[in-house]
Protein backbone atom coordinates (compact mmCIF):
# COMPACT_ATOMS: atom_id res chain seq x y z
CA UNK A 1 0.00 0.00 0.00
CA UNK A 2 1.24 3.47 -0.88
CA UNK A 3 0.53 6.15 1.73
CA UNK A 4 1.02 9.88 1.30
CA UNK A 5 1.78 11.92 4.42
CA UNK A 6 1.26 15.66 4.42
CA UNK A 7 3.67 17.14 6.95
CA UNK A 8 5.61 13.90 6.78
CA UNK A 9 8.89 15.57 7.75
CA UNK A 10 7.50 17.11 10.96
CA UNK A 11 7.69 15.72 14.46
CA UNK A 12 4.83 13.19 14.40
CA UNK A 13 4.97 12.81 10.61
CA UNK A 14 8.63 11.76 10.59
CA UNK A 15 8.11 9.12 13.28
CA UNK A 16 5.06 7.82 11.42
CA UNK A 17 7.06 7.70 8.18
CA UNK A 18 9.63 5.50 9.92
CA UNK A 19 6.92 3.24 11.40
CA UNK A 20 5.22 2.85 7.99
CA UNK A 21 8.48 2.10 6.16
CA UNK A 22 9.41 -0.41 8.86
CA UNK A 23 6.01 -2.09 8.43
CA UNK A 24 6.73 -2.44 4.69
CA UNK A 25 4.57 0.36 3.22
CA UNK A 26 5.60 2.77 0.45
CA UNK A 27 5.69 6.31 1.72
CA UNK A 28 5.33 9.62 -0.12
CA UNK A 29 6.10 12.73 1.92
CA UNK A 30 4.62 16.13 1.10
CA UNK A 31 6.01 18.92 3.26
CA UNK A 32 6.68 22.64 2.81
CA UNK A 33 9.44 22.63 5.47
CA UNK A 34 7.85 25.64 7.18
CA UNK A 35 8.33 23.91 10.55
CA UNK A 36 10.52 20.95 9.62
CA UNK A 37 13.83 20.16 7.95
CA UNK A 38 14.93 18.22 4.86
CA UNK A 39 17.59 16.78 7.20
CA UNK A 40 14.79 14.82 8.91
CA UNK A 41 14.06 13.11 5.58
CA UNK A 42 17.74 12.19 5.11
CA UNK A 43 17.82 10.75 8.63
CA UNK A 44 14.62 8.74 8.08
CA UNK A 45 16.17 7.19 4.97
CA UNK A 46 19.36 6.43 6.89
CA UNK A 47 17.40 4.89 9.73
CA UNK A 48 15.26 2.63 7.57
CA UNK A 49 17.58 2.06 4.59
CA UNK A 50 14.59 2.88 2.36
CA UNK A 51 13.91 5.62 -0.14
CA UNK A 52 11.19 8.21 0.47
CA UNK A 53 9.47 10.05 -2.41
CA UNK A 54 9.59 13.67 -1.33
CA UNK A 55 7.62 16.67 -2.61
CA UNK A 56 8.20 20.17 -1.29
CA UNK A 57 4.74 21.71 -1.33
CA UNK A 58 2.15 23.34 0.90
CA UNK A 59 -0.86 21.10 1.43
CA UNK A 60 -3.17 24.04 0.64
CA UNK A 61 -1.59 24.63 -2.81
CA UNK A 62 -4.34 23.00 -4.84
CA UNK A 63 -2.59 22.92 -8.22
CA UNK A 64 0.51 21.28 -6.76
CA UNK A 65 -1.38 18.89 -4.49
CA UNK A 66 -3.58 17.76 -7.39
CA UNK A 67 -0.55 17.14 -9.60
CA UNK A 68 1.25 15.17 -6.87
CA UNK A 69 -1.79 13.07 -5.97
CA UNK A 70 -2.50 12.37 -9.65
CA UNK A 71 1.06 11.20 -10.19
CA UNK A 72 1.27 9.09 -7.02
CA UNK A 73 -2.37 7.92 -6.61
CA UNK A 74 -1.80 6.81 -2.98
CA UNK A 75 -4.23 4.33 -1.45
CA UNK A 76 -4.35 6.43 1.74
CA UNK A 77 -3.53 9.94 2.86
CA UNK A 78 -2.46 10.78 6.41
CA UNK A 79 -2.88 14.49 6.98
CA UNK A 80 -0.47 15.97 9.55
CA UNK A 81 0.40 19.31 7.93
CA UNK A 82 -0.78 22.25 9.97
CA UNK A 83 0.11 25.13 12.22
CA UNK A 84 0.13 23.91 15.81
CA UNK A 85 1.39 26.49 18.28
CA UNK A 86 -1.43 27.28 20.69
CA UNK A 87 -0.10 30.71 21.79
CA UNK A 88 0.70 31.80 18.24
CA UNK A 89 -2.81 30.83 17.14
CA UNK A 90 -4.23 33.39 19.58
CA UNK A 91 -2.09 36.11 17.94
CA UNK A 92 -2.64 34.93 14.35
CA UNK A 93 -6.13 33.42 14.23
CA UNK A 94 -6.74 34.33 10.59
CA UNK A 95 -3.55 32.57 9.46
CA UNK A 96 -4.41 29.51 11.56
CA UNK A 97 -7.97 29.20 10.23
CA UNK A 98 -6.85 29.90 6.65
CA UNK A 99 -3.97 27.45 6.65
CA UNK A 100 -5.34 24.54 8.65
CA UNK A 101 -8.84 24.48 7.18
CA UNK A 102 -7.59 25.14 3.63
CA UNK A 103 -5.33 22.10 3.73
CA UNK A 104 -8.18 19.74 4.56
CA UNK A 105 -10.55 21.30 2.01
CA UNK A 106 -7.86 21.17 -0.67
CA UNK A 107 -7.09 17.53 0.02
CA UNK A 108 -10.78 16.59 -0.02
CA UNK A 109 -11.38 18.41 -3.32
CA UNK A 110 -8.39 16.74 -4.95
CA UNK A 111 -9.31 13.33 -3.54
CA UNK A 112 -12.88 13.70 -4.81
CA UNK A 113 -11.69 14.68 -8.29
CA UNK A 114 -9.28 11.73 -8.41
CA UNK A 115 -11.58 9.21 -6.71
CA UNK A 116 -9.21 8.70 -3.73
CA UNK A 117 -11.15 7.68 -0.66
CA UNK A 118 -9.03 6.96 2.44
CA UNK A 119 -8.11 9.65 4.88
CA UNK A 120 -6.47 9.55 8.30
CA UNK A 121 -6.60 12.84 10.18
CA UNK A 122 -4.36 14.26 12.90
CA UNK A 123 -6.77 15.60 15.45
CA UNK A 124 -6.27 16.50 19.08
CA UNK A 125 -7.70 15.78 22.52
CA UNK A 126 -8.13 19.54 22.72
CA UNK A 127 -11.57 19.05 21.05
CA UNK A 128 -12.92 17.64 24.34
CA UNK A 129 -12.49 21.07 25.92
CA UNK A 130 -13.38 21.54 29.56
CA UNK A 131 -16.87 20.10 29.42
CA UNK A 132 -15.96 16.65 30.73
CA UNK A 133 -13.99 14.93 33.45
CA UNK A 134 -11.27 12.54 32.24
CA UNK A 135 -10.76 9.84 31.14
CA UNK A 136 -12.17 11.15 27.86
CA UNK A 137 -14.06 8.73 25.63
CA UNK A 138 -14.72 9.24 21.93
CA UNK A 139 -18.49 9.39 22.29
CA UNK A 140 -18.37 12.40 24.62
CA UNK A 141 -19.70 15.51 22.90
CA UNK A 142 -16.96 17.81 21.72
CA UNK A 143 -16.47 20.76 24.03
CA UNK A 144 -15.51 24.36 23.63
CA UNK A 145 -11.88 25.00 22.66
CA UNK A 146 -9.76 27.58 24.44
CA UNK A 147 -7.81 28.80 21.40
CA UNK A 148 -8.01 29.11 17.57
CA UNK A 149 -5.62 26.17 17.04
CA UNK A 150 -8.03 23.90 18.91
CA UNK A 151 -10.99 25.23 16.94
CA UNK A 152 -9.22 24.47 13.64
CA UNK A 153 -9.03 20.81 14.71
CA UNK A 154 -12.66 20.89 15.86
CA UNK A 155 -13.83 22.38 12.54
CA UNK A 156 -11.71 20.02 10.43
CA UNK A 157 -13.33 17.08 12.23
CA UNK A 158 -16.74 18.52 11.35
CA UNK A 159 -15.79 19.04 7.69
CA UNK A 160 -14.60 15.44 7.44
CA UNK A 161 -17.75 14.10 9.10
CA UNK A 162 -20.00 16.10 6.73
CA UNK A 163 -18.01 15.09 3.63
CA UNK A 164 -18.03 11.46 4.70
CA UNK A 165 -21.78 11.50 5.28
CA UNK A 166 -22.47 13.06 1.87
CA UNK A 167 -20.17 10.53 0.18
CA UNK A 168 -21.96 7.72 2.02
CA UNK A 169 -25.30 8.94 0.66
CA UNK A 170 -23.85 9.13 -2.86
CA UNK A 171 -24.39 12.89 -2.95
CA UNK A 172 -20.88 13.71 -4.14
CA UNK A 173 -19.93 12.56 -7.61
CA UNK A 174 -16.29 11.51 -7.76
CA UNK A 175 -16.22 9.04 -4.92
CA UNK A 176 -17.35 5.70 -6.28
CA UNK A 177 -16.95 4.20 -2.82
CA UNK A 178 -17.82 6.22 0.30
CA UNK A 179 -15.00 8.06 2.00
CA UNK A 180 -13.20 6.09 4.67
CA UNK A 181 -12.11 8.48 7.42
CA UNK A 182 -10.20 7.80 10.62
CA UNK A 183 -9.71 10.73 12.98
CA UNK A 184 -7.05 10.34 15.65
CA UNK A 185 -7.25 12.45 18.78
CA UNK A 186 -3.75 12.71 20.17
CA UNK A 187 -3.11 13.37 23.81
CA UNK A 188 0.43 14.68 24.56
CA UNK A 189 2.98 13.25 22.10
CA UNK A 190 6.51 13.23 23.54
CA UNK A 191 9.85 11.42 23.25
CA UNK A 192 11.64 10.41 20.08
CA UNK A 193 12.77 7.42 18.06
CA UNK A 194 15.02 5.15 20.12
CA UNK A 195 17.94 5.74 17.70
CA UNK A 196 18.11 9.41 18.70
CA UNK A 197 18.35 10.23 14.96
CA UNK A 198 14.95 11.91 14.68
CA UNK A 199 13.01 13.90 17.26
CA UNK A 200 11.16 17.09 18.06
CA UNK A 201 12.92 20.22 16.82
CA UNK A 202 10.93 23.25 17.98
CA UNK A 203 11.81 26.63 16.50
CA UNK A 204 12.54 29.29 19.10
CA UNK A 205 11.38 28.97 22.68
CA UNK A 206 9.44 25.71 23.10
CA UNK A 207 5.78 26.09 24.06
CA UNK A 208 5.37 22.54 25.26
CA UNK A 209 6.59 20.94 28.45
CA UNK A 210 8.86 18.13 27.26
CA UNK A 211 10.97 20.07 24.75
CA UNK A 212 11.35 22.81 27.38
CA UNK A 213 12.53 20.32 30.03
CA UNK A 214 14.91 18.78 27.46
CA UNK A 215 16.45 22.17 26.72
CA UNK A 216 16.90 22.91 30.42
CA UNK A 217 18.51 19.47 30.86
CA UNK A 218 21.02 20.11 28.07
CA UNK A 219 21.88 23.59 29.41
CA UNK A 220 20.22 25.69 26.71
CA UNK A 221 17.77 27.24 29.19
CA UNK A 222 18.20 28.12 32.85
CA UNK A 223 15.03 26.75 34.34
CA UNK A 224 11.53 25.54 33.69
CA UNK A 225 8.61 27.62 34.85
CA UNK A 226 5.89 25.31 36.16
CA UNK A 227 2.59 26.88 35.21
CA UNK A 228 0.75 26.78 38.53
CA UNK A 229 0.88 24.47 41.56
CA UNK A 230 -2.52 25.35 42.99
CA UNK A 231 -4.65 22.95 40.94
CA UNK A 232 -6.82 20.37 42.65
CA UNK A 233 -4.37 17.51 41.99
CA UNK A 234 -2.11 15.52 44.38
CA UNK A 235 0.92 17.81 43.87
CA UNK A 236 -1.01 20.86 42.66
CA UNK A 237 0.27 20.72 39.05
CA UNK A 238 -1.74 19.79 35.93
CA UNK A 239 -1.97 16.20 34.79
CA UNK A 240 -1.63 15.01 31.18
CA UNK A 241 -1.51 11.80 29.20
CA UNK A 242 2.01 11.72 27.74
CA UNK A 243 2.31 9.28 24.88
CA UNK A 244 5.57 8.11 23.31
CA UNK A 245 5.71 9.40 19.73
CA UNK A 246 6.65 5.91 18.42
CA UNK A 247 3.53 4.46 20.06
CA UNK A 248 1.59 7.23 18.37
CA UNK A 249 3.33 6.48 15.05
CA UNK A 250 2.40 2.80 15.33
CA UNK A 251 -1.18 3.89 16.01
CA UNK A 252 -1.15 5.58 12.58
CA UNK A 253 -0.02 2.35 10.90
CA UNK A 254 -3.01 0.59 12.48
CA UNK A 255 -5.31 3.48 11.54
CA UNK A 256 -4.22 3.39 7.88
CA UNK A 257 -4.80 -0.37 7.82
CA UNK A 258 -8.22 0.14 9.41
CA UNK A 259 -9.17 2.84 6.87
CA UNK A 260 -8.17 0.47 4.05
CA UNK A 261 -10.36 -2.33 5.40
CA UNK A 262 -13.48 -0.35 6.40
CA UNK A 263 -15.78 2.25 4.96
CA UNK A 264 -17.29 4.94 7.14
CA UNK A 265 -15.88 7.22 9.81
CA UNK A 266 -14.29 6.42 13.16
CA UNK A 267 -12.59 8.51 15.79
CA UNK A 268 -9.97 7.10 18.14
CA UNK A 269 -8.17 8.46 21.15
CA UNK A 270 -4.44 7.80 21.00
CA UNK A 271 -3.19 8.09 24.53
CA UNK A 272 -1.67 5.90 27.22
CA UNK A 273 -4.61 6.28 29.59
CA UNK A 274 -2.22 7.20 32.43
CA UNK A 275 -1.93 10.74 33.78
CA UNK A 276 1.30 12.30 35.03
CA UNK A 277 1.70 15.69 36.65
CA UNK A 278 4.19 18.33 35.54
CA UNK A 279 6.37 17.65 38.60
CA UNK A 280 6.28 13.89 37.98
CA UNK A 281 7.57 14.54 34.45
CA UNK A 282 10.35 16.76 35.81
CA UNK A 283 11.39 14.03 38.22
CA UNK A 284 11.28 11.28 35.58
CA UNK A 285 13.38 13.38 33.21
CA UNK A 286 16.00 14.15 35.85
CA UNK A 287 16.38 10.41 36.46
CA UNK A 288 16.88 9.86 32.70
CA UNK A 289 19.49 12.60 32.29
CA UNK A 290 21.21 11.98 35.61
CA UNK A 291 20.92 15.45 37.11
CA UNK A 292 18.31 17.79 38.58
CA UNK A 293 16.14 19.95 36.34
CA UNK A 294 15.96 23.50 37.71
CA UNK A 295 12.42 24.78 37.98
CA UNK A 296 10.40 27.54 39.56
CA UNK A 297 6.68 27.67 40.26
CA UNK A 298 4.97 30.37 38.19
CA UNK A 299 1.45 31.55 37.50
CA UNK A 300 -1.15 29.41 35.77
CA UNK A 301 -1.07 29.59 31.95
CA UNK A 302 -4.27 30.96 30.39
CA UNK A 303 -6.27 28.26 28.62
CA UNK A 304 -4.72 25.29 30.48
CA UNK A 305 -7.12 22.67 31.75
CA UNK A 306 -6.37 20.89 35.01
CA UNK A 307 -6.64 17.29 33.84
CA UNK A 308 -6.60 15.50 30.51
CA UNK A 309 -6.17 11.83 29.84
CA UNK A 310 -7.60 9.22 27.53
CA UNK A 311 -9.76 6.22 27.75
CA UNK A 312 -7.92 4.33 24.97
CA UNK A 313 -10.07 1.19 25.02
CA UNK A 314 -11.65 1.81 21.61
CA UNK A 315 -8.26 1.87 19.84
CA UNK A 316 -7.34 -1.34 21.64
CA UNK A 317 -10.61 -3.03 20.67
CA UNK A 318 -10.88 -1.93 17.02
CA UNK A 319 -7.30 -1.17 15.99
CA UNK A 320 -5.53 -3.72 18.18
CA UNK A 321 -3.32 -0.87 19.37
CA UNK A 322 -2.20 0.27 22.79
CA UNK A 323 0.67 2.38 24.08
CA UNK A 324 3.57 0.10 25.08
CA UNK A 325 6.26 2.53 26.15
CA UNK A 326 6.20 4.03 29.62
CA UNK A 327 7.43 7.25 31.14
CA UNK A 328 11.02 5.98 31.68
CA UNK A 329 11.38 5.09 28.00
CA UNK A 330 9.81 8.42 27.00
CA UNK A 331 12.36 10.38 29.04
CA UNK A 332 15.27 8.13 28.05
CA UNK A 333 14.56 8.56 24.33
CA UNK A 334 13.81 12.30 24.61
CA UNK A 335 17.15 12.77 26.38
CA UNK A 336 19.01 10.68 23.80
CA UNK A 337 17.69 12.89 20.98
CA UNK A 338 18.33 16.14 22.86
CA UNK A 339 21.83 15.24 24.07
CA UNK A 340 22.90 13.94 20.64
CA UNK A 341 21.30 16.85 18.78
CA UNK A 342 21.39 19.88 21.09
CA UNK A 343 20.54 22.13 18.14
CA UNK A 344 17.99 19.80 16.61
CA UNK A 345 18.51 19.29 12.88
CA UNK A 346 20.58 22.48 12.60
CA UNK A 347 24.40 22.50 12.65
Looking at the annotation, which residues are catalytic? 149
Which ranges constitute the DSSP H helices of 49-92? Answer: 62-72, 86-91
Task: Judge residue 196's burial from the number of C-beta atoms within 10 Å of its C-beta, 0-12 exposed, 13-18 middle, 19 or more buried.
Answer: middle
Query: 99, 123, 188, 214: which one contacts ligand UD1 (CB under 6 A)?
Result: 188
Asked if 124 is part of the footprint of ligand UD1 (rule: CB under 6 A), the reply reads yes
Annotate 122-143 with b (16+ C-beta within 10 A) or e (fewer): bbbbbbbbeeeebbbebebebb
Asked if 37 is part of the footprint of ligand UD1 (rule: CB under 6 A), the reply reads no
Shortest gap between Cβ of 92 and ligand UD1 (angstroms)? 15
Residue 130 carries which DSSP code?
Answer: T
β-pair type (76-79, 2-6): parallel
Asked if 150 is part of the footprint of ligand UD1 (rule: CB under 6 A), the reply reads yes
Residue 42 contacts by C-beta under 8 Å, 6 or more apart in sequence?
Answer: none
Q: Which is nearer to ligand UD1, 226 or 288 (CB)?
A: 226
Q: Which candidate, 81, 107, 106, places its Cα nearest to that of 6?
A: 81
Q: Which is nearer to ligand UD1, 224 or 243 (CB)?
A: 224
Asked if 184 is part of the footprint of ligand UD1 (rule: CB under 6 A), the reply reads no
- Residue 81 CA to chain centroid, in angstroms? 9
Q: Which is nearer to ligand UD1, 105 or 305 (CB)?
A: 305
Q: Which is nearer to ligand UD1, 19 or 281 (CB)?
A: 281
Q: 82 to 121, contacts with ligand UD1 by CB under 6 A?
A: 84, 86
Phi, psi of 13 (to 5 degrees): -60, -40
Contact mark string toward ligand UD1, 285..314, x via CB under 6 A: ----------------x-xxx---------
Give the dihedral sign, CA 10/11/13/17: positive
Asked if 226 is part of the footprint of ligand UD1 (rule: CB under 6 A), the reply reads yes
Contact mark string toward ligand UD1, 239..278, x via CB under 6 A: -x-------------------------------------x
Are the C-beta atoms of residues 235 and 229 closer than 8 Å to each other? yes
Asked if 338 is part of the footprint of ligand UD1 (rule: CB under 6 A), the reply reads no
Query: 209, 249, 284, 319: which one contacts ligand UD1 (CB under 6 A)?
Result: 209
Query: 160, 224, 256, 267: which one contacts ligand UD1 (CB under 6 A)?
Result: 224
- Alpha-carbon span 148 to 94, nearest angstrom: 9
Task: Judge residue 193's burial from the number of C-beta atoms within 10 Å of its C-beta, 0-12 exposed, 13-18 middle, 19 or more buried.
Answer: buried
Which residue number has the CB closest to ligand UD1? 238
Asked if 146 is part of the footprint of ligand UD1 (rule: CB under 6 A), the reply reads yes
Which ranges constitute the DSSP H helices of 115-146? Answer: none
Query: 37, 53, 137, 207: which one contacts ligand UD1 (CB under 6 A)?
Result: 207
What are the E-state strand segments in 93-230?
118-124, 180-186, 188-190, 224-227
Q: Which stretch binds ligand UD1 (CB under 6 A): 28-36, 55-63, 145-153, 338-346?
A: 145-153
Binding region for ligand UD1 (CB under 6 A): 84, 86, 124, 126, 146-147, 150, 188, 207-209, 212, 224-227, 238, 240, 278, 301, 303-305
Amino acid sequence: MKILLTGGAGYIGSHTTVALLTAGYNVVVLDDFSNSSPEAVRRMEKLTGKAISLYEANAADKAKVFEILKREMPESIIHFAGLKAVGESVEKPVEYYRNNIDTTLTLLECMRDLGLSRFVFSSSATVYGEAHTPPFTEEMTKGSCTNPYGWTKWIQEQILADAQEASEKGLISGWKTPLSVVMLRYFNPVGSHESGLIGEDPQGIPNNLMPFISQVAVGMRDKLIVFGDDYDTPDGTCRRDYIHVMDLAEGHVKAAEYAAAHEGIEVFNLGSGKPYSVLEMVEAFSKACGHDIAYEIGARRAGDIQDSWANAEKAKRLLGWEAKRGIEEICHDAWKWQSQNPNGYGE
